[in-house]
Structure 1
Amino acid sequence: MSRTRLVLPGMVAAGIVVMVLGLLAAGGAPTRPADGLLGAGLGISWAVPVLRILADGAAVATGGAVLAVVLFLPAKDGKLGDKAIRACQDAAVAAGVWAVASIGGLVATATVILGIPLSHLTEHAAPAGQLPQVRALAVAVVLTAVLAVVLSGVKTLRGARFAALLTVAALIGPLLTGHGAIASTSFWSVLATSSLVVHVVAVVVWVGGLGAVLRYARSPQAVELFSTLALVCTVTVGLTGLLTAEIHLGGRADGWGLITQWVTSGYGVLVLGKTLAFATLVFIGWQHRRHTLRRLVDGDAAAFRHLAVLELVVMGATIGLAVALSRTP
């Protein structure tokens, strides 16, 4: 069990490394302000995507633990068992980390957008509060803080289901209140936001669910149930990711816009990298269904564990690409 505790830090580390490389390669890395301008500084500028990675990792851990309680861990007469209660406590800690990372992201984002040193932020509190990105992060802070408090006291299956709804709200709230969601009311803007909401929820269920199965419920029945759920999430993530990328890249009506920009723009290169990472995850999932599920039923849990750990690290790297993508012109 102690080894499984290292999986999430490993995912975050892989995500940060890939994110930094992606930003440097695609032209989205922070730069020094022009001469004569104060700016936020490179440290604060780099803190924005790093805190985003930490928040995303905590969100995945929270969602996965709650999913395990609701779907994979049995409850007797509506009351959670010891393992399920421990999963709720883990989720409460992860939600707390999520809230703290969101607070840090709020402060760093406001400083970077306003182009001022961190020490000057209190003097610009009013304009900072009007920024849609800051308001979105403020929503995340409130929802995740409430979620952490609720999860710390969950003892019943009904409470866990309520926590699951709160988790979904914490995931999609910032997406519905951020800059991309309110900048335009056009059909394509609404479609892009809706696609992103579905994409994010499916990713958290897929990635968090795998981590939760590995940590809390490695039984053949739980793994088989998650395998079916993961298949649905895989298809959903693939379709919504492709749709969102096509909208943002502004593909032409002839259908070649997306393909050509995959190799002619930094943003497109990251989309291509994310697509290749997604294909790798699909292949690993196929190997699970072909080989490791059968070996798990036969009592060989190590085969599933080793492949699942590799899959989670690739997932962490893919999340790093997604963060780099969100900060690349």
Structure 2
Amino acid sequence: MPLSWSVPAFRLLADGAAIWVASGVLTAGLLLPTSDVVRACQDAAIAAAIWAVASVGGLIASAAVILGIPLSHLAEHASIAGELTQVRALAISVVLTAVLAVVLSGVRTIRGARIALALTALALIPPLLTGHGAIERTTIWSVTATTSLVIHVFAATAWIGGLAGVLRYARTRAAVERFSTLALTCAIAIGITGLLTAEIHLGGRADGWALITQWVTTGYGALVFAKTVAFAALVYVGWRHRQSTLPSLATGNPAAFRRLAIGELLLMAATVGLAVALSRTP
């Protein structure tokens, strides 16, 4: 695999692990009784360790790609690599995720799970500050784009992780109903921040025709369109959950919810892949 491809590969692994962590801590902190917290947090601790390893890999690969050198020569340029914003951000993520893994291994209470949930949110932030929104950070557009991106990622992680957690740990009607309310909030946040971020990066200060042209003719615009279609499909599936699977759970039949949730998670996984591709486009 070319070195340049290892960067999005490590990013995808890190994102998947972060969602896995979120599935455990969010479910343990908000949806589970105390007696079930330990299992979810132990699973999340394993995921946090994987997240830390993926962040280390991403740090090394990113440094080599940015400097344009093979991995075998990276040690010779360690001081230069340490000055790179992306490398520093990933180094912070490594520290935070390693701490998170240790904390989660000892969590036994709902309060502990909620502390771990806050630490998970904190660990998500550093890499987001070095992407598209980090350019020209003194401008109001840059600050808006970065803030929007952080909220977008928080909401997406909570939505996907929460669904995975409910499916694995808490497939009861009460838990699903609580998650359904959270999912609706996340969907609204994702829709608003996604459109705002895309408009800024596609030329929100340009005239209408130029903006439409960029949506249609650029690689970034094409990926945004594909992600928008996937998001619309997820909203439809969420509506189906409210209309059909919640009543099925009330009758003691979880099969319909399980089938629809698995399909929704597969669609979410594809959306995460699109998001990683989006983060790598000019």
Please give the TM-score of this superposition, normalised by the length of structure 1: 0.83
**TM-superposition CA deviations, 1:115-171 (whole Å, max 9, x none):** 001100000001111111111111110000000000000112221121111111101
Q: Identity of counterpart residues, as a percentage?
A: 67
Tell me how large the CA RMSD over aligned residues is: 1.4
The residue that corresponds to 2:60 in the other structure is: 107
Instruction: String of CA shifts for 1:183-217, please: whole Å, max 9, x gaps.
Output: 42110000000001100100011000000000000
Residues 1-329 of structure 1 aligned to structure 2 (within 5 Å): 43-75=2-34, 81=35, 83-176=36-129, 180-181=133-134, 183-329=136-282
Matched to 1:190, the amino acid is V
CA contact (8 A) 1:132 1:178 kept: no
- Which runs of 5 or more structure 2 residues have no equivalent in the other structure? none
Residue 175 to residue 114, structure 1, CA distance change in 2 (3 Å): same
Provide Cα deviations, 1:205-234, integer angstroms capped at 9, x if missing partner: 100000000000000000011011100100
* Distance in 2 between residues matched to 1:123 and 1:208, nearest whole Å: 40
- The CA deviation string for residues 236-266 of structure 1, in whole angstroms up to 9 with x for no partner, is 0011011001111113454444433221111
Where 1:120 maps in the other structure, the secondary structure is helix
- CA pair 258-275 structure 1, distance change in 2 beyond 3 A: farther
How many positions carry a matched residue from both structures? Answer: 282
d(CA) in 1 for partners of 2:5, 2:153: 23
Instruction: State the 1:300 CA deviation.
Output: 1.5
Give the conservation status (yes or no) of the 8 Å contact 1:195–1:244: yes
Preserved contact between residue 135 and residue 178 of structure 1 (Cα < 8 Å): no
Please give the per-residue CA displacement for 1:84-107, whole angstroms capped at 9, x wherever unaligned. 101000000000000000000000
Larger RCO of the pair (alpha carbons < 8 Å, separation 6+) = 1
Please report how far the alpha carbon of residue 177 of structure 1 lies from its aligned counterpart in structure 2 after TM superposition: 5.8
> Using a 3 Å threshold, how does the CA distance of structure 1 residues 179 and 229 change in structure 2: closer, same or farther?
closer
Counterpart amino acid of residue 137 in structure 1:
L
TM-score, normalization by structure 2: 0.96
Contact 2:133 2:143 in 1 (8 A): no
Q: Point out the more displaced range, 170-179 or 49-58.
A: 170-179
Higher deviation after alignment, 160-169 or 137-146: 160-169
Q: Which amino acid aligns with 1:88?
A: C
- 8 Å CA contact 1:135–1:177 kept in 2: the answer is no
1:271-315 alpha-carbon deviations (Å, 9 max, x no partner): 100000101101111111111111111111010001000000100
The CA deviation string for residues 33-53 of structure 1, in whole angstroms up to 9 with x for no partner, is: xxxxxxxxx521111101100
